[in-house]
Amino acid sequence: MLLRRGTAPTRDGMTDESLPTAGYYRKVAGEIRAQAEEAQLPEVRRELLDLAERFERMAQFVEKRYPNGRKIPSPEGHTE
């Protein structure tokens, strides 16, 4: 069954869009850390580093949850 939520087509509540990988979350964490290094205010630097750490935790979650990569399995016998 194909459903629509917003602009992304979904099948049984799962989007057909590619999902973020652990590498993606780590890349974003690195970009946030780079911004933190340039932050002038200690409070801003601390907030950015906290945010980067959350992205690292999301990467670890994805690795544990999807050890073979993050892909949406197709239902058996389903053809697009």
Return phi, psi of residue 15, to 5°.
Answer: -75, 155
Q: How far is CA 15 from the centre of its chain?
A: 13
Q: What is the pTM of this model?
A: 0.65
Q: What is the pLDDT of residues 37-61, one digit of tens each?
A: 999 999 999 999 999 999 999 999 9
Task: Read off the tokens for 31.
Answer: 């970009």
Residue 66 has a pLDDT of 87
